[in-house]
């Protein structure tokens, strides 16, 4: 039982390493293929992540928001439904706003016309199997005018004001 939970922990850690390997170049503005080298693994066996190839590409979708849940957005486009991973906290007008608040305030609604800039990340293993995730970077609601970005590419203002107001007597 302990060994099984240890293996599950190692597998989750490997997924985290792959996501970091995929997202760091994306946040820096690069779109390239990354070759991830794995170690010998537990007990001399190589892990499933050994020699995985991570490919990323910028994509844009336009469609109607058909479903929205924490961490998942579904757009109905002309090509069909697209499932997107969306962060639970977004940056709107240089402020952090939760996805739930945007929905409750009526700024993001089902049925709205949406444009999404996203990053498509594909992890391909040496055996040929692959998994693709589409991660939202910016959402533009064409009906309400909302523009929301993921926090990775947003510019957050400093906590202290950059200009001081002086009064003279």
Write out pLDDT tens, residues 6-21: 455 545 555 555 555 5
* CA distance linking residue 20 with residue 85, whole number of Å: 15
* CA distance linking residue 76 with residue 62, whole number of Å: 8
* CA distance linking residue 59 with residue 119, whole number of Å: 6
Q: What pTM was estimated for this model as a whole?
A: 0.61
Positive or negative, the CA dihedral 128, 84, 54, 41 is negative
Tell me the pLDDT tens digit for each residue of 79-111: 999 999 999 999 999 999 999 999 999 999 999
* CA distance linking residue 90 with residue 73, whole number of Å: 13
Tell me the pLDDT tens digit for each residue of 33-90: 555 555 544 444 555 556 788 899 999 999 999 999 888 999 999 999 999 999 999 9
Q: Where are the domains of the chain?
A: 2-153
């Amino acid at each position: 039982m302990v060994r099984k939970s240890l293996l599950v922990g190692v597998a989750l850690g490997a997924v985290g390493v792959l996501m970091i390997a995929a997202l760091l170049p994306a946040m820096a503005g690069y779109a390239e293929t990354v070759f991830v080298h794995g170690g010998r693994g537990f007990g001399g066996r190589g892990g499933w992540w050994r020699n995985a190839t991570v490919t990323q590409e910028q994509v844009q979708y336009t469609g109607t928001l058909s479903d929205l849940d924490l961490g998942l957005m579904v757009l109905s486009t002309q090509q069909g439904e697209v499932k997107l991973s969306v962060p639970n906290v977004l940056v709107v007008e240089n402020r952090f706003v939760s996805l739930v608040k945007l929905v409750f305030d009526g700024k993001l609604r089902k049925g709205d016309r949406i444009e999404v800039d996203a990053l498509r990340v594909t992890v391909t293993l040496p055996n040929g199997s692959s998994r693709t995730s589409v991660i939202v970077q910016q959402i533009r609601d064409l009906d309400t005018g909302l523009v929301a970005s993921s926090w990775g590419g947003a510019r957050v203002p400093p906590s202290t004001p950059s200009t001081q107001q002086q009064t003279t007597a």
